Amino acid sequence: MYNYNMLIVLSLIAFVKGDMVPLKILNELPNQGYNGFNSPKSEDKLKLRMQPANFSGPDYLEKLKGECFKHRDPKYEYVFCPFQNITQEDIQAFYEPYKGVLGVWGQWEIKDNQFISMEMLEGSGCSAGRHRSTRVAIKCGKVTQLESVTEPDKCRYAAVFRTPSVCGSNAMVVYPRLDAELRKRWDEVSTDLYNQELTQLGYDNELERIFQAAGLRLPPSELGDLLQSAQQDKQDTDEAQGVSGSCQERMSSFQGRIKELEEEVRVKEEKIVELVMAAEGGGNQDD
C-alpha cells in the first residue's frame, strides 16, 4: 500500500510542478495492481476449460491437427494449434509472463456455403464472467502461417491463418462434403425457401441443424459435454496431485505476480523521481 500512496503523492507533485508530466502513470497503476490478481494468470494456468471438439471440415486440413503456429507482435506471442487451441503469452513482462487461452476448437463458421473460420471458444476468463474466444479466418496464402491476431472487441479476438491448402476455388465449399442424406435435406429446404414455404429465418435454422448433424457446428448439449469433460479432467489431476500440490501452485503463482508488480512499481517510482527532478530543473530555468 505504501508504494501506491507514495506514487500517487509523487505523481501529484509532478503534475503540479511540470506541464509535461504524463498523467498516464497515475491512471494506470492502481488498476494494474487490482486487475493483476484477477487475471487468468493467477486463475488456472493454461488449463483448458473445454475439451477440443473432434476434427471436422475439409479432410485435407486434418494434417494440421497436432501442428502449432506462432505469431508475435511487440507485446504478445500467440500460438495457434488448429483443431486444438489458441493461446497468448505476454513477452514484455518482467517475471512470470501472463499466459492465457484465447479459445478452444469448437466449430466452423459457415457462410454462403463456405467454411470461413475456425471458432475457438471458452478461453480464459475475462471481465463479467465472460470468456475469451477467437475467430480464426482460414485464407489462401503462399506459406502456412498465423498471420495476425487482433482484439476488435474486448475478449473477442480475430486471427488470420493462411495456407496454400485452401487456395483452390472449391477448397472450402461445404455442400459436396456432406453425406447424401444431408445434401438431400439441404436441397429440400432450399426448394422450400424458393417456394416461399420457409422464411429466411426458418431456412437458416434448418441449415444450422444440418451442419450440427454433420458435426461441423456444436449443438448446445455437446458444448455442455465438452465443458464438463474438461472439468472432470481437471478434478482428476487435482486429486492425483493432492490438494496441497494445487495450493502450492497457486501460492507460487501469486508470489511471482507480487514480485512482478513490485518491480513495476520500483521502475515507475524511479521514473517519477526523474520526472519531478526534470520538472524542478525546468522550473529553475524559468526563474
Ligand X SMILES: *[C@@H]1O[C@H](CO)[C@@H](O)[C@H](O)[C@H]1NC(C)=O
Q: How far apart are CA 214 and CA 234, in angstroms?
A: 29
Closer residue to ligand X in complex, CB, 30/224: 224
Q: How far apart are CA 183 and CA 75, in angstroms?
A: 46
Q: How far is the CB of 17 from ligand X (least distance, A)?
A: 48
Q: Is 48 in the site for ligand X (CB under 6 A)?
A: yes
Q: Is 81 in the site for ligand X (CB under 6 A)?
A: yes
Closer residue to ligand X in complex, CB, 22/224: 224
Q: Is 222 in the site for ligand X (CB under 6 A)?
A: yes
> Which range touches ligand X (CB under 6 A), out of 70-78, 80-88, 116-124, 252-260?
80-88
Q: Is 141 in the site for ligand X (CB under 6 A)?
A: no
Q: How far is the CB of 125 from ligand X (least distance, A)?
A: 14
Report the amino acid identity of residue 190.
Answer: S
- The phi, psi pair for 5, rounded to 5°, reads -60, -45
Q: Is 231 in the site for ligand X (CB under 6 A)?
A: no
Q: What is the dihedral of CA 181, 220, 47, 84, to 10 degrees?
A: 20
Q: Is 118 in the site for ligand X (CB under 6 A)?
A: no
- The phi, psi pair for 109, rounded to 5°, reads -90, 125
| Cell of residue 260, nine digits | 512482478
Q: Are 193 and 205 in contact (CB under 8 A)?
A: no
Contacts of ligand X in 7-46 (CB under 6 A): 46
Of 11, 51, 87, 124, which lies in the binding site for ligand X, with binding defined by CB under 6 A? 87
Closer residue to ligand X in complex, CB, 87/133: 87
Closer residue to ligand X in complex, CB, 67/187: 67
DSSP string, 192-240: HHHTTSS-HHHHHHHHHHHHHHTTSS--HHHHHHHHHHHHHHHHHHHHH
Q: Are 70 and 78 in contact (CB under 8 A)?
A: yes
Q: How far is the CB of 51 from ligand X (least distance, A)?
A: 10
Q: Is 215 in the site for ligand X (CB under 6 A)?
A: yes
Of 27, 54, 191, 252, which lies in the binding site for ligand X, with binding defined by CB under 6 A? 54
Give 85's strand partners: 81, 104
Q: How far is the CB of 48 from ligand X (least distance, A)?
A: 5
C-alpha distances (whole Å) from 223 to each of 104, 212, 226 are 11, 11, 5
Q: Is 214 in the site for ligand X (CB under 6 A)?
A: no
Q: Which residues bind ligand X (CB under 6 A)?
A: 46, 48, 54, 66, 68, 81, 84-85, 87, 101, 215, 222
